[in-house]
Amino acid sequence: MKRTLSLVLLALWLAPAQAHEGHAHEEEAPVVGAAGLARLPDGSVNVPKATQRRLAVRTAVSDVGEAAATLQLPARVVMDPNRSGRVQAVYGGRIEPGPRGLPVAGQAVKRGEVLAYVRYEAEPYAAANQQSQLAELRTQRVLAEQRVQRLESLEGTVPRKEIDAARAELTGLREREASVGASLSRREALAAPVSGVVASVSLVAGQVVQARDVLFEVVDPAYMQVEAATPDATLGTRIAGAQLADVPQARLRLLGAARALRDGLLPLSFSVQSAQRGAALPLAIGQPVQLIVQLKERSRGVVLPAQAVVRNPANEPVVWIKTSAERFRPQPVVAQALDARTVLVTQGLEAGQRVVVQGAPLIAQIR
């Protein structure tokens, strides 16, 4: 009996402890990962301080101000007509290599350098006519030489003017014979119109080309143009500046806005130069680019680095707001590019909010 009572008391003494241990296990917080990173149910992200330092996360207090209004226009890179050129054949013929062989794309050339030759190939009927004409001129030249010799042997008894006339006739026949003879084996030298880099080549040795075929394109990689289009006829008078979205080292200057429609739009032309004088631009002829046009009007908003605006899973632009020491929440915004490095947030932000300006793409990847 005593032994049974002891067992009952022991069971009653252990029961509260076991219940307390089970209750503590149920209320234990979920583990968010070895580094403490977690995407919380409300969409915010928990980032420990140590991880923030490793990711180089930086924040800045938002400040509402004014900046130039901007537009983004699709554009493409075109050749500068004053710094680029095309090499075309005036007459059709067969291609022969130049002194340095046929150039290849990317090869540097100088103005006036012979790139290739076009050997003129006449039709059989035309070639026969030229051969006949050459034989006739050769006969006339021989007769003229004999006549000059006779007159020179009679110098003193023959008037001087007859001798001079015979000599002039002989000189003309020789020049005509040389001209016709050269036309039978004539070749055209294709020279570089400007100094620069060969952008495109569309021939090989022995190829037969037609007149006005574009054989080479030579461009100066430090000077190009960008052409955009707009339906707004007044946009040309409202532009204060322009930049390329992905080429911050490029310097653009508005050349003019056309007054004639092309496919229903008005072309805008900009000259492009590198910030470092003479340095090559990382652009190619025909490359599509995104043009950021600064207008003379002003817009109000928060100026942020371009990397501060990222996309959420719904492909909406958002910025990350720091709400506490280790908590960040996404904030949908409306932003427009100011230049290649900064954007203007016109909706979604207020003054005094702490915005992530560096490391936002890394925070957006936390799942």
Instruction: Give pTM, 2 decimals.
Output: 0.63
Model confidence pLDDT, tens digit, residues 327-354 = 999 999 999 888 778 899 999 998 999 9
In whole angstroms, give the CA distance from residue 282 to residue 287: 10
| Cβ neighbourhood burial of 354 (10 Å; 0-12, 13-18, 19+) | middle
Q: What parts of the chain have a pLDDT lower than 70?
A: 1-35, 122-128, 182-185
In whole angstroms, give the CA distance from residue 73 to residue 291: 5
Ordered structural domains, the chain, with CATH: 45-78+221-364 (2.40.420.20), 85-219 (2.40.50.100)
Half-sphere exposure of 208 (CA within 13 A, CB side): 3
Residue type for position 127:
A
| Cβ neighbourhood burial of 49 (10 Å; 0-12, 13-18, 19+) | exposed
Residue 305's pLDDT is what? 92
Residue 28's pLDDT is what? 40
Q: What is the DSSP letter of 233?
A: T
* For the chain, counts of helices (H) and of strands (E): 6, 23
Q: Which residues of 284-296 are buried (b: 16+ CB within 10 A; e: fewer)?
A: ebeeebbbbbbee
Model confidence pLDDT, tens digit, residues 10-36 = 444 444 444 344 343 334 444 444 447
Q: 335, 336, 342: which is closest to 357 by C-alpha?
A: 342
Residue 228's pLDDT is what? 94
In whole angstroms, give the CA distance from residue 347 to residue 330: 14
Residue 261's pLDDT is what? 87
